[in-house]
């Protein structure tokens, strides 16, 4: 009995929280949120449920931890590049999150839930701090920090989430260039009296790059922020 207890303790010690979260991210990437179960996790880690619960209280905590780990990695990678200006830093943070959401299709939904249901958790402050420090560095008046930062965060997560959703709908077997070409042709064939604008931008649909369009949106928001709230001096 004592031998079994010592063996169980050694397995628990060897199986770190970090490894559990890493395995959870792998399962989420492979099968989405529905595929993350304790049974699937124990099979992947070759362990028992007790070892899992020793480190993580429940499935919700595990989802939160996986979300936090992916976001932290995305933000750390971009911050290490040391951009020259606050605008560059915001673009880098935005692209880090954009790429993370693209790589991990489950992430957009979890981020939306974190922002709305768990603002006291670690993910929401982490994202707001990364963007908010740069909004402050832009010289935006303090009374407008929250509004300006919120506008950027909502655009980043909304646009990145929509892009990831589009990729999921198309699936891996659909050629993106062919799909956009077909959409462009369909827009060109619309009634010119009812859809003059849509017909006019049909070529841009065919040629656009998702990441470039995403960054252009960031620049629109930044231009609006700095125009409406010019610097008031050192912050």
Q: What is the pLDDT of residue 20?
A: 92
For CA atoms 19, 72, 25, 173, give the dihedral sign: negative
SS3 sequence, 125-140?
A: HHHHHHHHHHHHHCCC
192, 198, 202, 207: CA torsion to nearest 10: 170
Q: What domains lie within the chain, and their CATH numbers? A: 2-13+16-57 (1.10.10.60), 68-228 (1.10.357.10)
Token pair belonging to 81: 């590049």
The torsion region of residue 43 among left (phi > 0), alpha (psi -120 to 50) and beta comes to alpha
Q: What is the pLDDT of residue 171?
A: 67
What is the C-alpha to C-alpha distance for residues 44 and 21, in angstroms, rounded to an integer? Answer: 12
Q: pLDDT tens for the chain, 235 residues: list them.
A: 444 444 444 444 458 889 999 999 999 999 888 888 888 999 999 888 888 888 888 888 889 899 999 999 999 865 455 568 999 999 999 999 999 999 998 999 889 887 777 666 788 899 999 999 999 999 999 999 999 999 999 999 999 998 888 777 666 676 778 888 888 999 999 999 999 999 999 999 888 888 999 999 999 999 999 999 876 655 4
- With 0-12 / 13-18 / 19 or more C-beta atoms within 10 angstroms meaning exposed / middle / buried, residue 51 is buried
Residue 184 has a CB neighbour count (10 Å cut-off) of 18
DSSP state of 143: G
> Of 156, 23, 167, which Cα lies nearest the Cα of 103?
167
What is the C-alpha to C-alpha distance for residues 112 and 192, in angstroms, rounded to an integer? Answer: 38
Q: What is the pLDDT of residue 170?
A: 67
Q: Are 11 and 55 in contact (CB under 8 A)?
A: no
Which residue has tokens 């628990």?
A: 12
**Cβ within 8 Å of residue 232, ≥6 positions away:** 139, 141
Q: What is the pLDDT of residue 230?
A: 79
**Cβ within 8 Å of residue 133, ≥6 positions away:** none
**Cβ within 8 Å of residue 2, ≥6 positions away:** none
What 3-state DSSP class applies to 178?
Answer: helix
**pTM for the structure as a whole:** 0.82
Q: What is the pLDDT of residue 221?
A: 96
Residue 197 φ/ψ, nearest 5 degrees: -70, -45
């Amino acid at each position: 009995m004592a031998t079994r207890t010592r063996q169980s303790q050694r397995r628990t010690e060897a199986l770190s929280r970090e490894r559990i979260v890493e395995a959870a991210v792998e399962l989420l990437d492979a099968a989405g949120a529905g595929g993350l179960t304790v049974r699937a996790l124990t099979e992947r880690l070759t362990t028992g449920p007790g070892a899992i619960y020793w480190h993580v209280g429940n499935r919700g905590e595990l989802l939160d931890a996986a979300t936090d780990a992916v976001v932290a990695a995305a933000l750390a990678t971009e911050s290490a590049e040391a951009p020259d200006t606050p605008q560059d830093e915001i673009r880098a943070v935005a692209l880090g999150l954009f790429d993370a959401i693209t790589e991990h299709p489950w992430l957009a939904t979890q981020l939306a839930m974190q922002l709305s249901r768990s603002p006291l958790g670690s993910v929401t402050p982490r994202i707001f701090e990364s963007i908010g420090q740069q909004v402050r560095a832009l010289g935006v008046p303090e009374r407008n920090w929250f509004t300006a930062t919120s506008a950027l965060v909502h655009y980043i997560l909304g646009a990145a989430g929509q892009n990831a959703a589009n990729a999921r709908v198309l699936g891996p077997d659909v050629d993106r260039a062919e799909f956009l070409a077909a959409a462009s042709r369909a827009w060109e064939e619309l009634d010119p009296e009812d859809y003059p604008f849509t017909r006019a931008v049909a070529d841009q649909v065919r040629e656009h790059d998702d990441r470039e369009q995403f960054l252009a949106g960031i620049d629109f928001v930044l231009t609006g922020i700095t125009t409406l709230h010019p610097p008031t001096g050192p912050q």
